């Protein structure tokens, strides 16, 4: 990670990297998704919240199971966990020993699909599990996201949107901005092509615009954490030695794994 | 945690709490320790580092594993996992706490060596060990509760802290870390059996050579936020089935938290 990239990441809370993933990997990932498409379900959650600007009857489809697909369909998604061009950024921003925070996520949006309200910022994200700080010349992040688009996004098609500097915002997000109903000029609709990558901290204020592209939006979202932080979902099955099972529930709770 | 306690914890990085343990708890802990005296061990590390003032005629004696002891010996140590006087402080400082590691008993006889001072905001930057203050609220990573099972009177040595160093913006001077210079800035903490000290790992702290005629016994519990682990923890972790046929580098991203 160059000094200029560190400057820009600290300044804006995200970086767009061009031509990170080769065409073969993109093709294999898309082919695997096509093969499993009937297993990918429409997400029930209304990600637009109360926003009129981001609402639609067309819902996003999510899938978190790609790395479980085995060979050959799981392979491209597993390879992207350790993408060689991304690793130096993870090491710099999370420290050595970084780990995956949750199973990689696929987000699919068809034309007209509803967006996701803007979220993040220092006020919304005060815990260490979703934070950002730069101190004594070092950047510290938790829950760092890497988005690999499997299809082109933009311009004007919607999709990933970020507020530069939102990872350092010290005041609550105005509701109209959260809903994308005012201050739209402050929001950057990220223009990327399949094969690019976007690195951003979960705390960077971000969301998703209504998808206006003719083609299907497909994007992969990989979340990483420092080695000392658990993830959103425990990926490892935890068990306890017998002496812990003999404790009171309150005592046992103190010995739980980090999540 | 009342407003005075918040003020002084933020100011100094630690609080001394009086009469936390009942005489009965102290007695049960000490008897259980006496019953397991054969499990005392000496750490291989030179805890005093290169210090000319902290080396002793003998080494500290440590004891672990108290939570695993058979009943009734384990019981007082389990009870201290969740203590009514400590729990509100942990809730304020770390949110929903989990035991990161401990309990560790440190026993020191007259002349036993100390521990070089460690910590400091420059040295403890990552979220797992840091001290932070934002929007009127403190946030700590690794947070230590030290229960005293024996008195530590003026001149005895034992726990020493550099008040305010959890917010220092400059590295700890070597002479301070080794307790060879500027000793007037290092505070020897005076307590009686039953008292407790709660401090952030980010405050510079260490142990002075023990000069007391009686054996020092300090019982240490280290807590962290619910999402963070500095140590390996008390659970066993099992990889999900689908991760077994991943490459070693891919599987490494699923590694358990902690070191």
**Residue of chain A whose alpha carbon sits nearest to that of B230:** A228
**Res. B259: pLDDT tops 70:** no
Query: C-alpha angle with apex A163: B135 to A4, nearest 5 degrees?
Result: 95
Give the tens place of pLDDT for each residue, A62-97: 999 999 998 899 999 999 999 999 999 999 999 999
**Taking CB atoms and an 8 Å limit, are B245 and A71 in contact across chains?**
yes
Give B43→chain A minimum CA distance, Å.
24
Q: Please give the pLDDT value at position B81.
A: 96
**Taking CB atoms and an 8 Å limit, are A251 and B245 in contact across chains?**
no
**Taking CB atoms and an 8 Å limit, are A259 and B227 in contact across chains?**
yes
Cα B131 to Cα A133: distance, rounded to the nearest angstrom = 12
Mutate: best of B221, B246, B257, partner A, most A CBs <10 A? B257
Contacts of B34 (CB under 8 A, 6+ apart): none
Q: Please give the pLDDT value at position A259.
A: 87
Q: Which two tokens stand for residue A6?
A: 């560190």
Share of chain A above pLDDT 70, in %: 100
Cα A190 to Cα A208: distance, rounded to the nearest angstrom = 10
**Taking CB atoms and an 8 Å limit, are B228 and A98 in contact across chains?**
no
- Please list the residues that pair with B147 across neighbouring strands: B196, B219
Confidence of residue A105 (pLDDT cuts 50, 70, 90): very high
**Which residues from chain B sit within 8 angstroms of residue A130, using beta carbons?**
none
**Which residues from chain A sit within 8 angstroms of residue B81, using beta carbons?**
250-251, 254-255
Q: Which two tokens stand for residue B75?
A: 């019981």
* Residue, of A93 and A258, whose pLDDT is higher: A93
How far, rounded to the nearest angstrom, does the alpha carbon of residue A35 sit from its chain's CA centroid? 24
**Taking CB atoms and an 8 Å limit, are B81 and A140 in contact across chains?**
no
Give the tens place of pLDDT for each residue, B122-174: 999 999 999 999 999 999 999 999 999 999 999 999 999 999 999 999 999 99
Query: Given CB atoms, is B46 within the 8 Å cutoff of chain A?
Result: no
Tell me what the mean pLDDT of segment B194-220 comes to.
98
**Taking CB atoms and an 8 Å limit, are A82 and B229 in contact across chains?**
no
β-strand pairing of A105-109 with A217-225: antiparallel
- What's the mean per-residue pLDDT of chain B? 95
Give the torsion through C-alpha atoms of A43, A48, A53, A57, to 10 deg: 30
Least confident of A51-55, B187-191, B197-201, B228-232: B228-232
**Taking CB atoms and an 8 Å limit, are A257 and B257 in contact across chains?**
yes
**Taking CB atoms and an 8 Å limit, are B234 and A127 in contact across chains?**
no
**Taking CB atoms and an 8 Å limit, are A237 and B238 in contact across chains?**
yes
HSE, CB side, 13 Å, CA atoms: give it for residue A219. Answer: 25
**Taking CB atoms and an 8 Å limit, are B78 and A228 in contact across chains?**
no
**Res. B175: pLDDT tops 90:** yes
Share of chain B above pLDDT 70, in %: 100
**Residue of chain B whose alpha carbon sits nearest to that of A229:** B228
**Which residues from chain B sit within 8 angstroms of residue A230, using beta carbons?**
227-229, 257
Q: Which of A67, A74, A227 sits opposite B257 (nearest CB)?
A: A227
Confidence of residue B255 (pLDDT cuts 50, 70, 90): confident
Give A40→chain B minimum CA distance, Å.
18
Which of the 8 DSSP states describes residue A21?
S
Reduced to 3 states, what is the DSSP secondary structure of residue B25? helix
Q: Which of B128, B236, B242 sits opposite A67 (nearest CB)?
A: B242
**What is the pTM for the complete model shown?**
0.91
Query: Given CB atoms, is B236 within the 8 Å cutoff of chain A?
Result: yes
Give the tens place of pLDDT for each residue, A218-252: 999 999 999 999 887 778 888 888 888 889 999 98
**Which residues from chain A sit within 8 angstroms of residue B242, using beta carbons?**
67-68, 70, 74
Reduced to 3 states, what is the DSSP secondary structure of residue A258? coil
Give the torsion through C-alpha atoms of B183, B54, B220, B199, to 10 deg: 20
**Taking CB atoms and an 8 Å limit, are A228 and B228 in contact across chains?**
yes
**Which residues from chain B sit within 8 angstroms of residue A133, using beta carbons?**
132
Give B234→chain A minimum CA distance, Å.
6
User: How many residue pairs bridge chain A and chain B with CB atoms within 8 Å of each other?
Assistant: 165
Give A116→chain B minimum CA distance, Å.
25
């Amino acid at each position: 990670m160059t000094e200029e990239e560190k400057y820009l990441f600290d300044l804006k809370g995200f970086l767009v990297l061009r031509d990170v993933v080769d065409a073969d990997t993109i093709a294999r990932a898309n082919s695997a998704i096509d093969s499993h498409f009937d297993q990918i379900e429409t997400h029930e959650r209304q990600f637009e919240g109360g926003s009129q600007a981001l609402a639609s009857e067309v819902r996003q489809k999510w899938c978190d199971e790609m790395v479980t697909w085995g060979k050959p369909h799981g392979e491209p998604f597993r390879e992207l966990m350790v993408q060689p061009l991304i690793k130096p950024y993870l090491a710099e921003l999370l420290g050595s020993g970084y780990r995956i925070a949750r199973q990689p996520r696929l987000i699919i949006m068809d034309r007209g699909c509803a967006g996701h309200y803007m979220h993040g910022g220092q006020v919304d994200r005060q815990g260490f599990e979703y934070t950002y700080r730069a101190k004594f010349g070092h950047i510290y992040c938790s829950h760092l996201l890497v988005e690999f688009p499997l299809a082109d996004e933009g311009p004007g098609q919607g999709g990933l949107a970020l507020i530069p500097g939102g990872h350092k915002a010290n005041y609550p997000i105005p509701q109209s901005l959260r809903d994308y109903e005012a201050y739209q000029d402050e929001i950057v609709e990220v223009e990327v092509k399949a094969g690019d990558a976007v690195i951003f901290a979960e705390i960077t204020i971000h969301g998703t615009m209504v998808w206006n592209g003719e083609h299907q939006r497909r994007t992969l979202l990989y979340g990483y954490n420092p080695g000392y932080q658990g993830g959103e979902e425990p990926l490892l099955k935890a068990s306890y030695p017998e002496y812990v099972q003999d404790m009171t529930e309150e005592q046992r709770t103190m010995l739980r794994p980090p999540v | 945690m009342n407003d005075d306690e918040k003020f002084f914890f933020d100011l100094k990085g630690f609080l001394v709490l009086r009469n936390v343990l009942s005489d009965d708890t102290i007695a049960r802990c000490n008897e259980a320790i006496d019953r397991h005296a054969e499990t005392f061990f000496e750490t291989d590390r030179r805890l005093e580092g290169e210090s000319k003032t902290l080396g002793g005629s003998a080494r500290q004696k440590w004891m672990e594993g108290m939570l695993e002891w058979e009943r009734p010996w384990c019981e007082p140590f389990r009870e201290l996992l969740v203590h009514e006087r400590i729990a509100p402080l942990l809730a304020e400082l770390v949110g929903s706490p989990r035991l990161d590691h401990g309990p560790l008993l440190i026993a020191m006889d007259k002349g036993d060596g100390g521990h070089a001072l460690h910590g400091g905001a420059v040295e403890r930057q990552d979220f797992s060990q840091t001290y932070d203050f934002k929007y009127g609220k403190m946030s700590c990573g690794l947070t230590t509760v030290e229960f005293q099972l024996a008195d530590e009177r003026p001149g005895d040595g034992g726990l020493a802290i550099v008040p305010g160093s959890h917010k220092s913006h400059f590295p700890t001077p070597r002479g301070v870390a080794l307790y060879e210079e500027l000793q007037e800035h290092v505070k020897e903490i005076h307590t009686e059996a039953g008292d407790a000290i709660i401090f952030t790992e980010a405050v510079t702290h260490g142990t002075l050579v023990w000069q007391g005629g009686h054996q020092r016994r300090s019982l240490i519990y280290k807590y962290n936020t619910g999402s963070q682990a500095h140590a390996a923890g008390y659970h066993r972790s099992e990889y999900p089935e689908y991760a077994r046929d991943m490459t070693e580098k891919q599987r490494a991203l699923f590694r358990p938290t902690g070191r």
